[in-house]
Structure 1
Amino acid sequence: MPADKVAEHADGLCYTDLMAGYYMGAPDEVLQAIADYSAWFFVWDDRHDRDVVHGRRTAWRRLRTRLHAALDSPRDHLHHRDPVVAGLADSLLRLYSFLGRKWNTRFARHFHEVIDAYDREFHNRTRNVVPTVEEYLELRRLTFAHWIWTDLLEPSAGRELPTAVRKHRAYRRAALLSQEFAAWYNDLCSLPKELAGAEVHNLGISLIHHQGLTPEEAVENVRWRVEKCITEFIDAEKDVVRFADSLNDGTLRGRQLRAAVRACVGNMRNWFSSVYWFHHESGRYMVDDWDDRSTPPYVSNETAGGK
């Protein structure tokens, strides 16, 4: 993004505000690192989009390889000449400083999967392949980085959760519902832009292409799915709270673990309100105000290789 575009649009994009509304109660240094990582994620997403739009296969392959490498050894990439690579390295070094090696390894594993999913999306979009609804839903959990944002609940709560807690049915279901809501609501708000750009990666577009829905029917279907996430989360949240209370065995560790799980599920709830607010306040989705409904005005097509 050119400097003049940063000055004009950065605050209005509200990227850091989104995280501030989600990871409530996090220490300042944790929240700042997550907010900066979130801003990096949106910039990377836009770079990926421009590489797709202009068919920059070599540029995308090069970036994909460098991001995988930076993920494994961030310190070696801190001064990389590509600011997207250097930005990831900087974010990782900060995020990796809060919890232990096991959490860092898990976060890296999850993000390797996200990079690979972006590669699958790149190939789908450049070959004009519309995934089926089920294929799309599976891929979207990775391109939206469901488990990355869920992992970041732990440094916000100040505690790494044991595997048995993270994989408990109630905890995992609540986490998935909060992220599915966010991903599908994002698709709902992005649909006008993506239809205008003849794109193929959106739940609404999969419904239109594979199930024969009209755009209006697709919007209603996605809205129904979004609302279902909300109602199901309310029940799932109660299950997590009961589970958290059961962890308090009277020991200091039990009390701390109960508090951490309650903090995590509380922020899963915050994801709903923060995501809803963000999509109606961020300039990223105000397509009716753009000269070209398929292209955000803050994106430079000349960046990273040009057309």
Structure 2
Amino acid sequence: MRTFAVSALREPPFPAGRHGETARVGRESIAWAQRLGLVTSGKRLSRADAAGLAGRVCPAAPVERMRLLADLISWLFVMDDACDEDGLGVAPTRLAPTVAALLDVLDRHGDPRATPATESGPLGEALADLCRRVRLFGPPGLLLRFTSQVRDYLLALLWEAVNREHGRVPAVDEYVQMRRHTGGVQPSFTLTDLAAGGLPGPGRRADPGLVALELLAADLVCWCNDLFSYDKENRAGPDSHNLVTVLAEGSGGDEEAALRAAADRFNRGLSAYLAAEEALSARGDDALRTVLRSRRNWIRATYDWSQTAARYA
């Protein structure tokens, strides 16, 4: 599948980079996950290489802020694996207590004095630690943005669990909308802005042009991931939460046509992204240009990291 993805996807025309402390951050992030009980062995997280992705996204960021992004990605990988591979997400009734406990953590907004009302386990301890560090490094508005986006991610996981329980493949438009949340891309963008120092005010963030570009960037990251991960996700049977599967369902089960259609969708999206970015950049300030550079980094980093990550081998 990597061969197909590389041949079919247009390479993002953005410069590639990698943080010089990526290897050290990788070791520290795995140690963080083990210390908080997210994993007992670092083998799965080592293969996932969260720091490798974060280091490409934030090649020039302060180390502790790039590390915060790497820890978030590690947490997302653990949560996704628990749902997709370890059975937590097979039904909403199984997942709901975990989601409720994690929402309780988010409601406390990283207050170091707060004690969650429900037992959230290692996932909750790690999420609380992420929230505390966002509170430490960023302004209150950024913390509120982050917790809201993680909340959307958790609720979207329940949507996936409902689909799994009923063997349901969502329609394309529904899938595209929900994939922006199930991918955990938006909170990752937020911590990238924190790492890069690109923090435009609320007025700029609500600008329709930037909103549209953010959605395009999230789509491109998720669709690229879907193509590179398609083989891995379908080894145990068809995965209804992959763009290729969704497109195949709509085209009578033609996998080859669905693969081509998914690649075409990415390539058209990239062209639209470049046009939208050019229009925004022409009238932007330094903070906006920093955000645009960070989104470029995410698109390029996902493409490069996916080609080598053992997570999708």
Matched, 1:271 2:298: yes
Range moving further from structure 2, 202-211 or 170-179: 170-179
> For 2:239, which of 199, 203, 211 is the aligned residue?
199
TM-score scaled by length of structure 2: 0.79
Structure 1 residues 111 and 279: CA distance shift in structure 2, 3 A: same
Equivalent-residue separation in structure 1 for 2:73 and 2:255 (angstroms): 30
Assess if the C-alpha contact under 8 Å between 2:90 and 2:161 holds in 1: no
Which structure 2 residue ranges, 5 or more long, are not aligned? Answer: 1-37
SS, match of residue 189 in structure 1: helix
Matched, 1:282 2:274: no
Structure 1 residues 240 and 219: CA distance shift in structure 2, 3 A: same
TM-score scaled by length of structure 1: 0.81
> For 2:262, which of 207, 222, 229 is the aligned residue?
222
Structure 1 residues 226 and 55: CA distance shift in structure 2, 3 A: closer
Range moving further from structure 2, 222-231 or 72-81: 72-81
Matched, 1:262 2:286: no
- The number of residue pairs the alignment matches comes to 271
Structure 1 residues 56 and 142: CA distance shift in structure 2, 3 A: closer
Equivalent-residue separation in structure 2 for 1:120 and 1:51 (angstroms): 17
Equivalent-residue separation in structure 2 for 1:9 and 1:203 (angstroms): 25
Equivalent-residue separation in structure 1 for 2:57 and 2:116 (angstroms): 29
Deviations 1:259-293 (A, max 9, x none): 2211110111111221012111111111xxxxxxx
Matched, 1:237 2:298: no
Assess if the C-alpha contact under 8 Å between 1:15 and 1:39 holds in 2: yes
Equivalent-residue separation in structure 2 for 1:56 and 1:106 (angstroms): 28
Q: 1:195 deviation in Å?
A: 2.9
> For 2:83, which of 39, 48, 67 is the aligned residue?
48
Structure 1 residues 106 and 216: CA distance shift in structure 2, 3 A: same
Q: 1:125 — aligned with what?
A: 164
Deviations 1:109-133 (A, max 9, x none): 2221111111111111121111011
RMSD: 2.3
How much identity, in percent, do the aligned residues show?
25
Rg bigger for which structure?
Answer: 1
Report matched runs for 1:1-307 at 5 Å: 3-4=40-41, 6=42, 8-50=43-85, 52=87, 55=90, 58-73=93-108, 74=110, 75=112, 76-77=115-116, 82-196=121-235, 197-244=237-284, 258-286=285-313
Assess if the C-alpha contact under 8 Å between 2:220 and 2:269 holds in 1: yes
Equivalent-residue separation in structure 1 for 2:74 and 2:253 (angstroms): 34
Structure 1 residues 137 and 13: CA distance shift in structure 2, 3 A: same
Q: 1:213 deviation in Å?
A: 4.5
Equivalent-residue separation in structure 1 for 2:199 and 2:116 (angstroms): 26
Deviations 1:165-191 (A, max 9, x none): 112233223222222111011111222
Assess if the C-alpha contact under 8 Å between 1:241 and 1:262 holds in 2: yes
Equivalent-residue separation in structure 1 for 2:192 and 2:120 (angstroms): 31
Equivalent-residue separation in structure 2 for 1:89 and 1:77 (angstroms): 9
Q: 1:69 deviation in Å?
A: 0.6
Assess if the C-alpha contact under 8 Å between 2:101 and 2:119 holds in 1: no
Letter in 2 for 1:266: R
Q: 1:290 — aligned with what?
A: none
Letter in 1 for 2:159: R
Letter in 2 for 1:138: Q
SS, match of residue 86 in structure 1: helix
